[in-house]
Structure 1
Amino acid sequence: MNDYLIKALAYDGQVRAYAVRTTKTVGEAQRRHQTWPTASAALGRAMTAGVMMGAMLKGDSKLTIKIEGRGPIGVILVDSNAKGEVRGYVTNPQTHFDLNEHGKLDVRRAVGTEGTLTVVKDLGMKEYFTGQVPLVSGELGEDFTYYFASSEQVPSSVGVGVLVNPDNTILAAGGFIIQLMPGTSDDVITEIEQRLQSIPPVSKLIEQGLTPEQLLEELLGKGNVKVLEQMPVSFTCQCSKERFADAIVGLGKKEIEEMIQEDGQAEVQCHFCNETYHFSKEELEQLKEEAK
């Protein structure tokens, strides 16, 4: 099953909901960065939340999520847009610990709890929208829940999960965001809270083969969910040799000349996807001519 995301309304428009399967998407990130299980879970949770938050945007808008918890994993960075495209990386991909007291991957220990979650939205205007909150748990689901309540004033519940195979590949990944619209009735709020307390972890439901539609039915009740839109989701990086060439040109003639003299070539690597681009001496000479 390919990864995809759905947008939905529930309880006659009182609730807005998103659900996504990201198993292949997180798997691609794991493959590119060779993340170990705990790092895979942290990065996968952040990317899953990120792709759903991207789906809340319109047109060519995009956002960047930065999680700095001062834990051994270092910084987690995720980019996403309104088209279901997401990419991400962690500073220290080979981070792993024994399972925590609940028998789960110890994401909190890897991420840390003394730091911030920052969301920067590029809505195509002159100014960027930036929201920042302190980390409240380091497990990330609770942290994104707190972000929505505190920074965007939208009562929300965010669930994100990743299961990792013994060979480090991704077994299952996905998540949901449920948001209460203004005026949601107390009865609906109580019913949702009860359902959230009783359902299994979201990653287990994905592993069992539940689709995003079925996931929302588990959360909100059959017959309550009206799907508005479905979109494919993928690990997609916008890097290219042309973009890196432009960046080299921007360094100026002097620095490019130093590259040519010292190494006779240049090699650059994209942090987000680990793709490497090679520039020969001839190519550098040409870029030097283009530089101001």
Structure 2
Amino acid sequence: MSDYLIKAIDKTKNLRLLTISAKNLVQEAQTRHNTWSAASAVLGRTLLAGELLAGAQLTDQEELTIRLLGNGPVGPTIVTAKSDLTVKGYVKNPHIALPAKEGGHIDVKKAVGQGWLEVTKDLGLKEPYTGQVPIVSGEIAEDIAYYLTKSEQIPSAVGLSVFVNPNNTIGEASGFMLQALPGASDSLITKTIERIDHLPALSTAFLAGMTPEELAESILGNDCKILTRENVTYKCDCSKEKYRQILATLKTSQIETMIKEDHGAELTCNFCGNKYQFTEKELRDIIQ
């Protein structure tokens, strides 16, 4: 199955839903960062959350960054998603695997720990806007829902799932984000939440072949309307020129030390692992 996100609305036009399937996207991240099971689950869920938030909130050339700043063993997790539904991310400590919880599930809560969830939006204004809430769960989906409800006053329900195979490859990655629009009645919201509560586990459903469209119908009803279907991709926009610009912000003495002691410089992108080499001549050109 290809990776894509759909947007749907219920028949009353009072509930908005985004659903996503992104196994290949999360697999790309796992391969690039060589993440182990717990780190894969944390990074994968945060990547899915980034795509769902981007799909719901961004237009034109806007972007947002999620910072999951927990004190658990994976350390900080950073994800940036753009309005074109490209996303990139990394965890500080990729080689984290923890004992499974009862039922064999990855202990994402323990991997994340306690701390803060920050969402920064660059909407093309003078200054980006950052919303911050405490990590209330550590399972990430509940934390994103809490952020939307408390920081943006949008009542929301979020589900995120990443199934990691025994060999650390990704078996499935899926999720949804349900938002109540201003006209939604309490009874409509309650009925829809009951549907969500009776869903099978996302990992079980998507491993068995469920699609984002079928998930939308299971949550909103068979009479829901699918509005759009858009591809989602793991993509880093780093380049040697961007790193040259970063080097140009350093003090001349720092670059001179690189030339004298290291005879050049190598910079590695945290988001994708690409390495950029700068020769002595290239470093001298920067400080001239």
- Give the structure 2 partner of residue 219 of structure 1: 219
- Alpha-carbon deviation of 1:255? 2.1
- Alpha-carbon deviation of 1:174? 1.1
Distance, in Å, in 2 between the alignment partners of 1:42 and 1:77 is 10
- Alpha-carbon deviation of 1:102? 4.0
Secondary structure of 1:277's match? strand
Secondary structure of 2:248's match? helix
* Percent identity of equivalent pairs: 44
Of 143-152 and 200-209, deviating more is 200-209
What do residues 113-148 of structure 1 show as CA deviations (whole Å, max 9, x unaligned)? x21111010000012211111111101111111111
- Give the structure 2 partner of residue 101 of structure 1: 102
Letter in 2 for 1:226: K
- Give the structure 2 partner of residue 121 of structure 1: 121
- Give the structure 1 partner of residue 253 of structure 2: 254
- Give the structure 1 partner of residue 204 of structure 2: 204
Q: Structure 1's 102 and 145: CA in aligned 2 closer, same or farther, altered over 3 A?
A: farther
Secondary structure of 2:88's match? strand
Distance, in Å, in 2 between the alignment partners of 1:252 and 1:122 is 28
What do residues 3-34 of structure 1 show as CA deviations (whole Å, max 9, x unaligned)? 11111211321101101111111101100111
Q: Which runs of 5+ in 1 are unaligned?
A: none
Could you tell me the TM-score, scaled by structure 1's length?
Answer: 0.95
Secondary structure of 1:274's match? coil
- Alpha-carbon deviation of 1:188? 1.6
What do residues 244-282 of structure 1 show as CA deviations (whole Å, max 9, x unaligned)? 011112214332222111111110001111111111122
- Give the structure 1 partner of residue 68 of structure 2: 67
- Give the structure 2 partner of residue 284 of structure 1: 283
- Give the structure 2 partner of residue 244 of structure 1: 243
On the 8 A contact 1:4/1:21 being kept in 2, the answer is yes
Q: Which runs of 5+ in 2 are unaligned?
A: none
Could you tell me the TM-score, scaled by structure 2's length?
Answer: 0.97
Distance, in Å, in 2 between the alignment partners of 1:235 and 1:74 is 21
- Alpha-carbon deviation of 1:213? 1.0
On the 8 A contact 2:10/2:221 being kept in 1, the answer is no
How do residues 46-195 of structure 1 correspond to structure 2 at under 5 angstroms? 46-55=46-55, 56-112=57-113, 114-195=114-195
- Give the structure 1 partner of residue 13 of structure 2: 13
Aligned residues between the structures: 287
On the 8 A contact 1:11/1:188 being kept in 2, the answer is no
Secondary structure of 2:266's match? strand
Secondary structure of 2:196's match? helix
Letter in 1 for 2:86: E
On the 8 A contact 1:160/1:203 being kept in 2, the answer is no
On the 8 A contact 1:118/1:133 being kept in 2, the answer is yes
Secondary structure of 1:250's match? coil
Distance, in Å, in 2 between the alignment partners of 1:279 and 1:21 is 39
Distance, in Å, in 1 between the alignment partners of 2:186 and 2:284 is 68
Letter in 2 for 1:178: L
On the 8 A contact 2:160/2:174 being kept in 1, the answer is yes
Distance, in Å, in 1 between the alignment partners of 2:146 and 2:11 is 23
Secondary structure of 1:267's match? strand
How do residues 26-37 of structure 1 correspond to structure 2 at under 5 angstroms? 26-37=26-37
Distance, in Å, in 2 between the alignment partners of 1:268 and 1:2 is 33
- Alpha-carbon deviation of 1:76? 0.6
